[in-house]
Chains A and B, each alone.
Chain A
Amino acid sequence: MSTKIQYQFKKDNLTNSAPNKYKEGELRSEELVINLGPQHPSTHGVLRLEVLLEGEIVKDVVPHIGYLHRCFEKHAESLPYNQIIPYVDRLDYLAAINSEHAYAMGVEKMLGITDQIPKRVEYIRVLVAELNRIASHFVAIGTYGMDMGALTPFFWLVRDREHILRMLEWVSGARMLYNYIWVGGLFYDVPVGFEQRCTEFVAYLKPKLKELDSVLLQNKIFVERTANVGVLPMDLAINYGITGPMLRASGLRYDLRKIDGYSVYPELDFDIPIGTGEKGQVGDCWDRNQVRVMEIHESLKIIEQCVEKLTKEHKRTKEFDPQAIVPKKIRPKAGDFYVRAENPKGELGFFFRADGKSDKPFRCKARGPSFVNLSIISELAKGGMIADLIAILGSIDIVLGEVDR
């Protein structure tokens, strides 16, 4: 079988398609440019960092992104609203349900059916979204520990994440990319016994989080590596548009679940943890991880309350149809909309323009939190050591699927 070789190798292909900012001839003799990625374990995906070094001191970082660009926005212009959901899953593939939730809410708002969604559907959405939030934070903390040289917490967290993935597989049929939340409803009701399993899982996880705290967060080596590293002041964070756990670690109680109060979050009781500077300064890498761990505790609280509501007030009935108000035809009236929701990584926003004539969006833009959060890397890493660059990059918690879209 003869296969044609399509790719014409040329030596300057890489330098033409992603040229370095710092050219070889223009450097001073003590300066050095090293290239991290695109294939490097500590970049958490296909991210290329061009690092200008002087000795071991980082003088500048130039991120090169776009290696995973899949033209989400172009695709979305040629698909009906309900068929975009699987593509939305693949933006932040570690927290697919959270992204679906934001997207579905946006389209419902455009259609004006937000008030008609049954309460049971809303509680199920919040329940699965919080489960997915925990799973996403587990990956963030686990891989961060691995970057810092602690391998055990990663295994523990992947073990516990596996429980969540199996639960979500039971609900939706898929392990990571669910297509579970539909515009106007859900793919299916939760299976019989799911609430019981959630209660068991919460009881199982609580002592494990204590273990995690003592083995990772209070670990002397971990504290030494992360405290006082990559300190992000609050005003700078806001100016850079940083959201999510990163902004909260800098000391601002900013959570869209509270501020916008979307879905049923106003009816639930939970706190917003912020960075306190316990081990160093407010807004350092240690704080960012502490905030994520505290958020897992809060998510567990929300899950408990949702299970309570789903077994009592909004019980499973034979008549309940999660697809009851799923619209047959999605044709919003013309106009511009910006909707946003709190994802594990920060504010996920969708900008829609509907022309009122077709089932497809005229324009659909995804404002990914990872993309905006990553833009601060050079500011944080400048003047630090190269080992701190890895610590800072890990603590931003990016998913390249969302950075490149």
Chain B
Amino acid sequence: MLEEIQNILKSSIDDNLIIEADESSSPPTIVVQKENLLAIASLLYKHEQLYFDMLSCITGIDNGAESESMEVIYNFFSIPFERSLMVKVILEREGKLEVPSLVEIWKTADWQEREVYDLFGIHFRNHPDMRRILMPADWEGHPLRKDYEDPEKYRGMNVIYDRDEKSQTFENEVLNTKSQTTKS
């Protein structure tokens, strides 16, 4: 199946757009460059032999500081041909974290891209409404990054809860009240 996609891409845009292809993974995977993503995606959507009309899932991944890369992974499904495809875009962690938005082609990308932005801080160019979606709008940092550290406080509330400390103070308070009641 990947050969077919490669041939179609070659004939309609340009060759060597696909950096890497893996047929054995589940589902079959291609890796593309972020500059070519929009062109490849619209071809996957429009071409009558491919017709990937369903964008099931968009996932962001942070590979950590050592590997210096982040990824955005798209899972497509073609309803008429009943086959799936995984498309990966690899970004440099230190560089500009920006990917073209696919909202123009698939409307479902709207919320899913917002989620990736919220949790990873990857921007989507030309997205109509790039706001946080799950976290509060004034939250600092992007929680699913590997080097993320919880803030100590959010609006005066403790974010990090030390359970042991908390239960100890609670026990002390209970003991104190007990001793007071027995005294009186």
Interface residues of A in 333-381 (CB under 8 A from B): 335-340, 347, 349, 351, 353, 362-363, 365, 367, 371-372, 374-375, 379
Q: Indicate with 1 or 0, residue by residue over B95-139, a CB within 8 angstroms of chain A CB atoms.
A: 000000000001110111001000100000000000011111111
- Asked whether A74 is an interface residue with its Cβ less than 8 Å from the other chain, the reply is yes
| Alpha-carbon separation in the docked complex, A19 to B138 (Å) | 9
- Residues of chain A within 8 A (CB-CB) of B133 are 65-66
Give which listed residue, B56, B107, B136, B144, contacts A73 with CB less than 8 A. B144
Report if B147 contacts A (CB, 8 A).
no
Residue B75 CB within 8 A of the other chain:
yes
**Contacts A1-B173, A338-B27, A338-B86 given; does A351 touch B134 at CB 8 Å:** no
Q: Is B9 an interface residue (CB 8 A)?
A: no
State whether the Cβ of A6 lies closer than 8 Å to any Cβ in chain B.
yes
If A71-B143, A336-B29, A375-B111 touch, does A16 touch B137 (CB 8 Å cutoff)? yes
The answer to whether B59 has its CB under 8 Å from any CB of chain A is yes
Pick from A162-170, A235-243, A301-309 the stretch touching chain B: A235-243
A292 within 8 A of B: no
Contact with B along A249-268 (1 / 0, CB 8 A): 00010100001000000000
A contacts, CB < 8 Å to B: 1-2, 6-8, 10, 13, 16-19, 65-66, 69, 71, 73-74, 109, 236, 238-242, 252, 254, 259, 335-340, 347, 349, 351, 353, 362-363, 365, 367, 371-372, 374-375, 379, 404-405
CB of A240 within 8 A of CB of B107, answer: yes
Q: Could you tell me the distance between the alpha carbons of A355 and B53 in the complex, rounded to whole angstroms?
A: 31
Chain B residues in 8 Å Cβ range of A6: 156-158
When the two chains form their complex, are residues B108 and A338 in contact, meaning their CB atoms are under 8 A apart? no
Q: List 6 A-B contacts (CB under 8 A).
A: A8-B155, A17-B139, A241-B108, A242-B108, A338-B75, A371-B115
Docked-complex contact A365 and B111, CB < 8 angstroms: no
B13 within 8 A of A: no
- Nearest-Cβ distance from residue A290 to partner chain B, whole angstroms: 22
For the complex of A and B, the 6 pairs showing the least CB-CB separation, nearest first, are A241-B108, A8-B156, A17-B136, A66-B134, A367-B57, A375-B111
User: A238–B26 contact, CB under 8 A?
Assistant: no
Q: A238-B79, A351-B73, A371-B115 are in contact. List 4 more A-B contacts (CB 8 A).
A: A10-B155, A241-B55, A338-B57, A367-B56
Query: Pick the contact of B84 from A18, A338, A351 — CB < 8 Å?
Result: A338
Please report the number of residue pairs spanning A and B whose Cβ atoms sit closer than 8 angstroms: 107
A344 CB to nearest chain B CB (Å) = 18
* Chain A: minimal CB distance from B61 (Å): 5
**Pair B108/A239 contact, Cβ less than 8 Å:** yes
A353/B61 contact (C-beta < 8 A), A7-B155, A336-B29, A367-B56 known: yes
Judging by beta carbons under 8 Å apart, are B137 and A17 in contact?
Answer: yes
A372–B110 alpha-carbon span in the complex (Å): 10
CA distance A375 to B177 in the complex (A): 52
B79/A336 in contact, CB under 8 A = no
By a CB distance below 8 angstroms, the chain B residues around A335 are: 25
B143 proximity list for chain A (CB < 8 A): 71, 74
What's the least CB distance linking B35 to chain A, in Å?
Answer: 22
Smallest beta-carbon distance A168→chain B, Å: 29
